[in-house]
Amino acid sequence: MHRRFIQEVGEDILIRRYTGTGSPRPKTDTATRARVMGYEPKELVGSIVQGDRKIIALVDDLAGILPITTNDKAVVRGKELAIKAVDDSTRRIAGTLIALEIQAGG
């Protein structure tokens, strides 16, 4: 049900991982389906600031690059966002990871 909802209302995004050094740095992009939302005013506490995005990304396409870390980036609608936090607990069903909840901004 969770997967079907994100497939219907979500959009395609990229998780970008940079490797090595130099200019330009080599990168690998992995596409996945995600629901991208802003935070409500009542959620703007702690490290969450205005302009941050909540991304609920299906893990089906991300299995090869898990775990996602704060060193990775999210590319949403062509804009690269810094990943600030990754929650891999909230979107589990019967212990199976269905989606990651990602806080991104920038």
Residue pLDDT, tens place only, 67-83: 999 999 999 999 999 99
d(CA 98, CA 17) in angstroms, rounded, equals 21
Tens digits of residue pLDDT in 59-68: 988 989 999 9
Enumerate the domain spans of the chain: 2-105
Residue 3 belongs to what H/E stretch? helix 2-9
Choose which CATH entry (3.20.20, 2.60.40, 2.40.10, 3.30.70) describes domain 2-105.
Answer: 2.40.10
With a CB cutoff of 8 Å and minimum separation 6, the contacts of 93 are 2
Q: Is the pLDDT of residue 20 over 90?
A: no
What is the pLDDT at residue 21?
83
Question: Is the model's pLDDT at 47 over the cut of 90?
Answer: no
Residue 45 confidence (pLDDT): 80
Q: What is the pLDDT of residue 74?
A: 98
Judge whether 86 and 65 are in contact, CB under 8 Å.
Answer: no
Tell me the C-alpha distance between 79 and 40, whole Å: 21
